[in-house]
Amino acid sequence: MKGSKVVAALNETLLEESRVPAVVADVQTLIDAEVSDKSGASGLALKGGYGAVKKVSPSIVPDAVTALLPAFVAKLEPYWQEFSASGEGSFADFISARGDAVADSLLEVTDERIEGSDKAVVKSMYSKLRGSAKKHVTAALPRLGDVIQKHAA
């Protein structure tokens, strides 16, 4: 029966100590792919900034993913539970259909983190990119849904 099975919370699967390195690696691959797919002037700027940050500090992306993962998982949990109860086919399709709400939920995490930062350079870069962030996060939802479903299964 669809609605009767108990579904593990995402924090019990995605944040399980032995699984975190693989989750972080897959999220970094997702970010690299999303940045690579960007085109036009804004895509060029995003690729340049991303490449520069990775050159200066190669561990910045995995470190950021690791630090933010628990908060992102918490934001995704209600969608995961609703998806699991719905019996729909893929989490990618489920969150993509709710793109605006899911993107807003995820961006709350980075907005709160930046607000608490004392690094002026990071705040400045974030403020320049924040205007287009929702569009980019929404575009990444299909890949994100696949990563979540892969590791939560």
The radius of gyration of the chain from alpha carbons, rounded to an integer in Å, stands at: 16
User: In this predicted model, what pLDDT tens digit does every residue of 87-132 receive, in sequence order?
Assistant: 888 999 999 999 999 999 999 999 999 998 888 888 888 888 888 8
Structural domain spans, the chain: 8-152
Q: What distance in Å separates the CA atoms of residue 76 and residue 145, rounded to the nearest whole number?
A: 10
Residue 42, phi then psi, degrees to nearest 5: -70, -35
Tell me the average pLDDT across 31-49: 89
The model's pLDDT over 127-146, given as tens digits with 9 standing for 90+, comes to: 888 888 899 999 999 999 99
43-65 pLDDT, tens digit each: 888 888 888 888 888 898 999 99
Phi first, then psi: give them for residue 26, nearest 5 degrees: -70, -35
Using CA atoms, how far apart are residues 117 and 119, in angstroms rounded to an integer? 5
